[in-house]
Structure 1
């Protein structure tokens, strides 16, 4: 069975985007002398990316409009907006919970839950995330899009690892 991992950054006060949906605050302090590359290490065990429409739209219109940055993976975009799928990007009108149940049974590497908040919250409510890779960015936004929102139950986690660089802290947890 494929492992389901959340790999995401959030502000110190728990937001993944500011009140306008922007993520321009993600670079941290901006003095990265450590050259830590947690992303490359993480994606070695991933072959599938799952995201919501808003995350997809932000990537292709703002963050990387000239190049699909997840070319090495099969991507599933959960959306109600009908759009033509390609070999690498599949647009699906399916609940995230059902999609993950189906995908985790396939052969291959792990599944990365990339965003957004609504999709993550639905999977967290069903306790479907096996591993949480959360990078804390040194900023307090005060408002915006919350990563977890209001949960209907506690999810107990075990801390596996921490590392700090560029003012940011990576926290890696698994379910207990």
Structure 2
């Protein structure tokens, strides 16, 4: 009798919006450039959200989420991990704080059964994942704004990846590009 082998490798996806000049937020973490633009209420997020069950982010991104949504993260059944050197787990929080090696943690998540893993936020989380070649896909909405300085999506690092364009969509004034690692 042959043994059935199940492939449990999950995809890791960066999904988020940036300015045309590549910034996630202003230096003070403001997202004012994102709001008030035609199409801000339209996106591929409703369909994307059906493909994910795990979210990872850094502490700074988590704190910005709490500022934008004082009610906190929704109780949506998704597992939320926040990398932090300073915060510890709180049984009341809907997140699990994680310390340590980001790529090792994500490699472990990839072997567990589940849906896609969503990387939220900036370069401090993204760079080590890029360097370890753990990002499988990018879904990036380009907002029609140039802000000149801020928090960049891509920090300098030791990575050199080729991507394949999968899709381009328009949501009002936003362009969404989807790339997959070759």
TM-score by length of 1: 0.91
Of 43-52 and 15-24, the range deviating more from structure 2: 15-24
2:142 pairs, out of 132, 136, 145, with 136
Name the SS of the counterpart of 1:115 in structure 2: coil
Higher radius of gyration, 1 or 2? 2
2:107 pairs, out of 101, 104, 123, with 101
Instruction: Calculate the aligned-residue CA RMSD, in Å.
Output: 1.8
Shift of 1:114: 0.7
Residue 115 of structure 1 corresponds to 121
Shift of 1:121: 1.3
Name the SS of the counterpart of 2:15 in structure 1: strand
Whole-angstrom distance in 1 between the partners of 2:90 and 2:31: 26
Name the SS of the counterpart of 2:120 in structure 1: strand
Whole-angstrom distance in 1 between the partners of 2:159 and 2:39: 37
Name the SS of the counterpart of 2:65 in structure 1: helix
Residue 57 of structure 2 corresponds to 51
Of 37-46 and 66-75, the range deviating more from structure 2: 66-75
> What runs of 5+ residues in structure 2 fail to find an aligned partner?
1-8
Structural mapping, 1:7-86, within 5 Å = 7-27=15-35, 29=37, 31-32=38-39, 36-60=42-66, 62-69=67-74, 71-86=76-91
Shift of 1:150: 1.6
Shift of 1:9: 0.9
Please identify runs of 4+ aligned residues in structure 1 that moved more than 6 A. Answer: none
Name the SS of the counterpart of 2:128 in structure 1: helix
- Contact 2:164 2:179 (8 Å CA) reproduced: yes
Shift of 1:68: 1.6
Whole-angstrom distance in 1 between the partners of 2:100 and 2:157: 22
> Does 1:91 find its partner at 2:97?
yes
- Contact 2:43 2:171 (8 Å CA) reproduced: no
> Does 1:169 find its partner at 2:160?
no
Shift of 1:85: 4.1
Whole-angstrom distance in 2 between the partners of 1:70 and 1:27: 25
Whole-angstrom distance in 2 between the partners of 1:70 and 1:43: 13
